[in-house]
Structure 1
Amino acid sequence: MTERRFLLGFVTALVTLGLVVGAFQILFTRVGEIGLAQVVDRQLAVPNGDVLFLSGVNQNSHRYKLMLFDRQQPQVIAIGSSRAMEVRAEFFDAPFVTLGGAVNNLADLEAVADHVAKAPAKPRLAIVYVDPWLFNARYTDNQGPVPAYPRYVSADMLWAGAKALRRGNWISESFRSPNLGIHAISRNEGFARDGSQYYNLTGDGAYDAKFALTFARIDGDKQNFQRNTRADPRLVGRICAAVKKVRAATGAAAVVAPPFADSVWLRLSQPDYAYIADGYAQLQACLGGIPFFDFADPARIEGSTECEFIDGLHGGDVTYARTLLQMAAADPAVRAQVDAPYLAAFMGKFRGHAGGTVLARNPAAREADFLQLGCRK
């Protein structure tokens, strides 16, 4: 092979590779897997809920939720893990964004508190949902740096996109769907512009049928359900300090222990999980005058049933509507922000359902008994 032919082949291969990479860069940018700012731009350009977003490559929503907060400058916010995602903008009279999903560990909570404290426009009310495993010293979730949302296509992204094709042709579907992110495009579920998550609950498939997956995690002493008899006072102190920083920035805050499904809570009420009650008691004592609402036991939620849960540890939006109405009755700061008549009507119309807001926007839709509990929908 002559030097000229070698160089020609090399340049041809390089150009071909560049064209292929460029094509994939355009594709992944168009579907929302690259460039978080343009995702938020497109969501804010349409009414709430009309464009859902959930990446099929990067499931960490910390940076995305903070960007929603910065861009919308809401007067009311929710802070927490995925267990704060079912709080909706419709539930409030004031502009609202949930940072649910931005807190996967204690370091995340502290980072969110710092971000809110430095924001130029402060919310009037923050509702902080505190998971019990945050004060469990055995909780082993990764506390490393939050990954940046990608700006350029990568080999990992191409591989993830290829694997997603086994669940359906998201490439062709992206031309019909208004959603962004491979997961949202292929499953029609994800985050709306208020940060709340919409689940596709109309099919026959069950993620946590009869709460079997949740019980497996409890029995396996793993993930969020490591056993412990005592909460770590140092961790409780850090949570308390973060909440107080948020309250100082906003002027009003409330802390919530989010609910578990009834049968799951029964398992967590055993002595092996005594740290839960211990931790919440320590936290409440530390908070001083900041209102604390303990809904971990769903029996404390008036009218709640397991049929209103998405899985063993995630209540649906009807569940959270119930809690907000009870909070409003006890706390003037919450009462001043919630739309109580809407909440009462919403609970009455969609009782027994996990995704009432989806049904309200799509009257022809019907929620399935996806938990296989014999729920009448």
Structure 2
Amino acid sequence: MFDSSFYNAGFTISGINDFLPFLQSIPKNKYPNLLIIGLDQWMFNENWDSLEGSKEPTYWGRSFQSNPGSKTFFSVYKDLKNGKYGVLESVKRFDKNAQVYHVGLHSVINNTGIRRDGSLQYGKQIDKLLKSDTTANDYRYKDTFKRIKTGRRKFQYGNRLNPKALVYLETLLSYCKENEIYVVGILPPFSIKVNEKMKQTGKYRYLEEIFPASQECFKKYNFELWDMTNLKKFGSTDEETIDGFHGGELCYSKILIHLINNQSKIKQYVEVERLKTDVRNRANDYIIFNY
């Protein structure tokens, strides 16, 4: 997809106050020329994260564990004993000669995990969605709708944007400017039905404030911010989403094409015609390539 070397830092950031210390944990000679950040909308909601304090740059180095903790060990052992995992299917995935080599129990059982480029393979979730299997995670957004109904798990209600979030954003962008890192920010999409459901409640007014307030920060440093909250804006549909608040590879490829067509600096790193060809020849409406 990209014509230059890159690394994907998924699963490293939780709150908006994590970006800067994570960046500071990286040696400066490894800094990227361009940084793409996904600004999840709930990062700006005080009722989800009050932003009291932040992690130290050393946090990420200490977080790696080569061995599972006792709680994880006993949980896995209990599931194995109760026959939760299909033994035959699991053994097949331990085959080192297989097209995809699986590392770790979660990867073996669910055909899910982090690829070498840092991106996520959804595996079993994709298989279930293609079969319209009702046991797929968040099938027809049932779980996301429950979150909205209860105002929990990243969908806490909020009438106003948390001003602390803008302070952390401003500090991050200032640091990136000082270190010659060009930033492209993206407000990621919700499914169309989820957007409609949130709007119907009238309890997510803070969402409307995020782009205009954040855009001022980005403009100050001559960086880019793109509001991709609505799938329709870049020609995607609910049929291309993994769940209520995650698009699939096709969805995000369309975002990339939209940015390039609108003169984002990302165009320097992507051959857009090749990307369009990949989209036309995609494996299905969730993934571009068969892995």
**Bin of the TM-score, shorter chain as denominator length:** 0.7 to 0.9
SS in 2 for 1:346: helix
Paired letter, 1:122: Y
Q: Deviations over 1:107-133 (max 9, x none)?
A: 3223223235x4313212111110111
What residue number does 2:117 align with? Answer: 194
1:324-363 matches, cutoff 5 A:
324-350=256-282, 353-357=285-289, 359=290, 361=291
CA distance in 2, matches of 1:305, 1:255: 22
SS in 2 for 1:327: helix
1:221 Cα deviation after fit = 0.3
1:274-313 matches, cutoff 5 A:
274-288=205-219, 289-302=222-235, 304-313=236-245
CA spacing shift, 1:100–1:247, aligned 2, 3 Å: farther
1:216-235 matches, cutoff 5 A:
216-235=146-165
1:92 Cα deviation after fit = 0.7
1:1-377 matches, cutoff 5 A:
91-116=1-26, 118-140=27-49, 148-152=63-67, 154-165=69-80, 166-169=84-87, 172=91, 175-176=94-95, 178-200=101-123, 201-203=126-128, 204=133, 205-270=135-200, 271-288=202-219, 289-302=222-235, 304-350=236-282, 353-357=285-289, 359=290, 361=291
CA distance in 1, matches of 2:263, 2:205: 28
Contact 1:308 1:315 in 2 (8 A): yes
CA distance in 2, matches of 1:141, 1:92: 36
1:223 Cα deviation after fit = 1.2
1:164 Cα deviation after fit = 4.3
Q: Deviations over 1:315-352 (max 9, x none)?
A: 00111111111111223521101121221012222396
CA distance in 1, matches of 2:216, 2:67: 48
Paired letter, 1:135: F
CA distance in 2, matches of 1:109, 1:268: 27
CA spacing shift, 1:213–1:127, aligned 2, 3 Å: same
TM-score w.r.t. length of structure 2: 0.83
CA distance in 1, matches of 2:287, 2:33: 27
CA distance in 1, matches of 2:284, 2:171: 37
SS in 2 for 1:224: coil
CA distance in 2, matches of 1:157, 1:351: 35
SS in 1 for 2:186: strand
SS in 2 for 1:211: helix
Where in structure 2 are there 5+ consecutive unaligned residues? Answer: none
1:176 Cα deviation after fit = 2.1
Compute the RMSD of aligned alpha carbons.
2.5
The aligned length equals 267
1:94 Cα deviation after fit = 0.7
Where in structure 1 are there 5+ consecutive unaligned residues? Answer: 1-90, 362-377
Contact 1:232 1:279 in 2 (8 A): no
CA distance in 1, matches of 2:205, 2:34: 31
Contact 2:194 2:244 in 1 (8 A): yes
SS in 2 for 1:319: helix
TM-score w.r.t. length of structure 1: 0.65
SS in 1 for 2:8: strand
